[in-house]
Structure 1
Amino acid sequence: MDYPTGDIFVGEIIGTAILVLFGVGVVAAVTLRHSKAQASGWIVISFGWGFGVLAGAYTAGPLSGGHINPAVTFGIAVESGDWSEVPVYVAGQMVGAMLGAVLAWAAYYAQFQANADREKSAPTLGAFSTGPEIRKPVVNLLTEIIATMALVLPVLAFGLTEGLGTSGTQTLIVALLVVGIGLSLGGPTGYAINPARDLGPRIVHQLLPIPNKGTSDWGYAWIPVAGPLLGGVLGALIFNVAF
């Protein structure tokens, strides 16, 4: 389906903002002090991100198709051969990701301010962006490539099942797929699988006045951008060969 350029931009801003609001929000809820959900664990985080995909993609769907992820946009472009609207999609996704991160920070403002207590302060980047448990760039990159391939290839294949798209069920299944990827492949790097989801909030973390927030870890930042883009392209190439 062809969407007007303006609708694509607005839809991707809104959808990605909702995705990141839910996602950054659930990680903040689990990791920050004085949160009722503190220490709820990885399962809660995975489902929070999945519900963020569900809400964001359904909301953006009528305007843009609800990509809300540059890796998905790249994968669809490789599959279709149409790159004309890719810059508009990615621009909307980046703006939306930054907006969503700011909204999540505002919602947890008191908890982030509690980090001013130097004796109990902790780095806050983990609430915004991903980071590896074991820092090995080649392996971390490979993890992100595999996890994103496992997202984009099924997303494209779901489109072949008659009725999923028109019924709206496809978006629900993709949201569950994101939960599954988080539970199974999220352990090593935190499963960015979305360059905008990681880079946008990382920029916001750098800019926000969060007490004792620590580094934004720009030395790692290229991996959750390059890995998902490569994984999205690889997933689409496999789809084109196999289907």
Structure 2
Amino acid sequence: MDYSLGVRLAAEFIGTAIMVILGNGSVANVDLKGTKGNGSDWMLIAVGYGCGVLIPALMFGSISGNHINPAFTIGLAVSGLFPWSEVLPYILVQFAGAIVGQLLVVAAYKPHYDMTTNTQHVLGTFATINATKSKFNGFVNEFLGTYILTLGAFGITHAPFFAHNAGTANFGVGFLVAVLVASLGGPTGPALNPARDLGPRLVHAFLPLKHKGSSDWGYSWVPVLAPICAGICGIATYKFFFL
């Protein structure tokens, strides 16, 4: 079934919002003071992000393609697999969804934001931070992670093995994201998605949080540019060898 652009944009908006709520919500549960999950390990965050991609994929994969990531949208367009005329609308609603999703995370955890005095923990529930304050390391990490994400997600959803079972393919994509967070999340988070990082970082910059600290704008270009470059390369790699 073919869906109108408006319907597909609604799916991208809602899907991106859900991804941020489940993903950054899991970070908030681990890092903010006084939560039931405070002090839990990294695997809770990996599961949160994995399901944050899986649930929208099951809901909207057959409607909008469930890009929920500008790096994926741009990568498809560069390889001639998505119309350029729809790139900007997709990206705009992805960013809008990320912003709304982050606002809902803050609403859900507001008392715990007020209790948390560690400004790095607060920022980490919005956007990524390089653990060693290295832009070069951050770029390498985000590029590698997003390259595997886009190559893997496109490969899984187009694999002949899943041709008649798209639901199982979506579970594979969710598992891929969870593993990427578990295995490559140490240096940066990671973002793997410009909207997931920049949208919430804007929210962090403008909200009057009690213990906000810096939004780290000097680093902010890394989780935007690196995923876009990697998305272009990841999709192009799969197209070159397998399509």
TM-score by length of 1: 0.93
Taking a change above 3 Å as real, the CA distance of residues 65 and 230 of structure 1, as seen in their structure-2 partners, is: same
Structure 1 match to 2:169: 170
1:118 aligns with none
1:202-241 deviation per Cα after TM superposition (whole angstroms, max 9, x unaligned): 0111111210211111111000000100110011121122
- RMSD over aligned CA atoms reads 1.5
Q: What secondary structure is seen at the aligned counterpart in 1 of 2:127?
A: coil
Query: Which segments of 5 or more consecutive residues in structure 2 lack a partner in the other structure?
Result: none
**Which residue in the other structure is 1:160 paired with?**
158
> Once the two structures are aligned, what percentage of the paired residues are identical?
42
Give the CA deviation at 1:2: 5.3
> Does 2:88 align with 1:87?
yes
Secondary structure class of the residue paired with 1:64? coil
Count of residues in correspondence between the two structures: 238
Mapped to 2, the partners of 1:35 and 1:83 lie a distance apart of 44
Partner of 2:186: 187
For the structure 1 residues 158 and 47, does the alpha-carbon distance in structure 2 shift closer, same or farther, using more than 3 Å as the test? same
1:79–1:239: 8 Å Cα contact kept in structure 2?
Answer: no
Matched, 1:35 2:10: no
Shift of 1:61: 2.6
Instruction: Report the AA paired with residue 89 of structure 1.
Output: Y
Aligned with residue 135 of structure 2, among 117, 134, 137: 137
Separation in 2, partners of 1:165, 1:2: 18
CA distance in 1 between counterparts of 2:64 and 2:42 reads 31
Residues 112 and 211 of structure 1 are in contact (CA less than 8 Å); yes or no, is this contact kept in structure 2?
Answer: yes
| Distance across 2 between alignment mates of 1:231 and 1:2 | 29
Mean Cα deviation higher: 195-204 or 82-91: 82-91
Indicate conservation of the 8 Å contact 1:33/1:114, yes or no.
yes
- Provide the residue aligned with 1:199 in structure 2: 198
Aligned equivalent of 1:8: 8
**CA shift for structure 1 position 140:** 1.3
TM-score by length of 2: 0.93
Q: Contact 2:53–2:174 at 8 Å: present in 1 too?
A: yes
- What code does the residue aligned with 1:28 have? A
Is there any run of 5+ residues in structure 1 with no aligned partner, and where? 116-120
Pairwise CA distance, 1:76: 2.0
> 2:114·2:211 contact (CA, 8 Å) conserved in 1?
no
Q: Which runs of 4+ in 1 moved over 6 A?
A: none
CA distance in 2, matches of 1:63, 1:7: 8
User: How far apart, in 2, do the equivalents of 1:93 and 1:135 lie?
Assistant: 27
